[in-house]
């Protein structure tokens, strides 16, 4: 089951988990990049050297995710792991592939509206397209908020153009996956989750979203998103879709 990992980044503010973005969120992203001793890649030539050295890995897409107009389809290995795991869950929940719109971007290839503090040049960021499906947007936002609460990433819903910007904290995320899988797998072995990582739970008398979430190690927001529940009311006999991994 998914378990929150105690990390050294300090507590995450309520604002940081709103997907609105903030100066504090940018501070955290850049602090993690410095802690990892990541280079802010300047140009395509330097990016190619990082790929050849194995610091960045190629992403080609698969049945669960696809790339859309990505100029530089490379990222840190942990980001590739994050995308594979998330996209498998997303496709199982929504029936459509996750769409990646940006990965590593050298500093001289940043769009005009990009922040000069963007961590895209480090290879630890990914942009995801907003689905036209409201339920899919709610599902993805619930998962990103839950993972942000575990201090393994920072996520922002950007407006122009509309997308989700995700800055992954590689070492923290890998420790998180290690706990989820109850072991310490190599990155290549930490396979993406599938439909088998969800279970049906029949609500019993006295159950609440909070007690079910605590039992299975997920957030209440994630349970709401998976089952399209607006409030807190559930009924005995109701079947809920419960994720057993994140």
Predicted pLDDT at 167:
96
Describe the chain by its helix, strand, coil percentages, rounded to 5.
40, 15, 45
Alpha helical stretches, state H, the chain: 23-35, 44-52, 77-94, 134-149, 170-180, 209-216, 220-227
The DSSP secondary structure of 45-99, one letter per residue, reads: HHHHHHHHTTSSEE----SSEEESS-SS-EE-HHHHHHHHHHHHHHHHHHSS-EE
What are the C-alpha distances in Å from 154 to residues 20, 29, 63, 176?
10, 7, 26, 15
pLDDT at 184: 53
Which residue from 191, 183, 195, 205 is spatially nearest to 226, judged by alpha carbons? 195
Tens-binned pLDDT, residue by residue, of the chain (246 aa): 333 332 333 333 334 346 877 888 899 999 999 999 999 999 999 999 999 999 999 999 998 999 999 999 999 999 999 999 999 888 888 889 999 999 999 999 988 877 888 999 999 999 999 999 998 998 899 899 989 988 999 999 988 888 999 999 999 998 888 877 766 555 444 444 444 456 778 888 888 888 888 777 677 877 888 788 888 889 988 988 887 655
Q: Measured between alpha carbons, how far is 35 from 37 in angstroms, rounded to an integer?
A: 5
CA-CA distance, 125 to 144, in Å (whole number)? 13
d(CA 246, CA 230): 21
pLDDT at residue 185, rounded to an integer: 53
Map out the domains of the chain with their CATH numbers. Answer: 16-189 (3.30.1380), 195-243 (3.10.350.10)
Residue 44: per-residue pLDDT: 96
Q: According to the model, what pLDDT value does residue 15 have?
A: 41
143 vs 102: CA distance, rounded Å: 20
Q: What angle in degrees, to the nearest 10, is found between the helix axes of 209-216 and 220-227? A: 110
Burial class of 15 by CB neighbour count within 10 A (0 to 12, 13 to 18, 19+): exposed
- The single residue listed with the structure tokens 């980001």 is 79
β-pairing, 98-102 vs 65-67, is parallel
């Amino acid at each position: 089951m998914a378990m929150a990992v105690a990390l050294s980044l300090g507590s995450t503010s309520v604002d940081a988990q709103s997907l609105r973005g903030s100066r504090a969120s940018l501070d955290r992203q850049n602090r993690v990049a410095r802690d990892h001793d990541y280079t802010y890649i300047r140009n395509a030539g330097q990016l190619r050297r990082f790929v050849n050295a194995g610091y960045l890995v190629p992403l080609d897409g698969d049945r669960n995710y696809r790339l859309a107009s990505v100029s530089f389809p490379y990222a840190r290995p942990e980001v590739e792991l994050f995308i594979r795991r998330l996209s498998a869950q997303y496709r199982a929940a929504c029936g459509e592939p996750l769409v990646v719109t940006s990965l590593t971007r050298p500093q001289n290839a940043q769009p005009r509206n990009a922040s000069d503090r963007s961590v895209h040049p480090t290879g630890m960021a990914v942009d995801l397209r907003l689905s036209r499906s409201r339920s899919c947007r709610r599902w993805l936002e619930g998962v990103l908020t839950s993972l942000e609460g575990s201090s393994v990433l920072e996520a922002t819903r950007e407006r122009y153009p509309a997308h989700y910007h995700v800055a992954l904290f590689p070492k923290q995320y890998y420790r998180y996956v290690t706990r989820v899988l109850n072991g310490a797998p190599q990155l290549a072995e930490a396979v993406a989750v599938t439909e088998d990582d969800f279970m049906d739970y029949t609500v019993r008398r006295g159950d609440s979203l909070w007690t079910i979430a605590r039992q299975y190690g997920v957030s209440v927001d994630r349970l709401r998103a998976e089952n399209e529940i607006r409030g807190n009311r559930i009924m005995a006999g109701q079947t809920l879709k419960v994720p057993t991994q994140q």
